[in-house]
Amino acid sequence: MSFRDLVFVIVAILSCALLITAQISIIAALAVRPPRWRALAVIVFPPLAPFWALREKLRGRAATWLVSALVYALVRVVAG
């Protein structure tokens, strides 16, 4: 395994972990705000998370979700 491959693996793991953390954080925030069914919907269909997070003024969580998803997808495409 080359150094380049190691960097891709580390970045992919960190961005995936950050994406999962942001997802759980958004689910928890939506679960305490009415209507609570959105938290369940976000579990079933995760791409709704940043949309509803932005509507609830959770800008930091939505930005974290979007950036980490973008970085993860980019690493997966570049790494091949």
What's the pLDDT at 53?
98
Distance of CA 35 to the CA centre of its chain: 21
What's the pLDDT at 80?
83
- C-alpha 57/C-alpha 67 separation (Å) is 17
Q: How many domains does the chain have?
A: 1
- The mean pLDDT of the chain is 97
User: Is the pTM above the cut of 0.85?
Assistant: yes
Could you tell me the pLDDT band of residue 68, with boundaries at 50, 70 and 90? Answer: very high
* Residue 36 structural domain: 3-79
Would you say residue 1 has pLDDT above 90? no
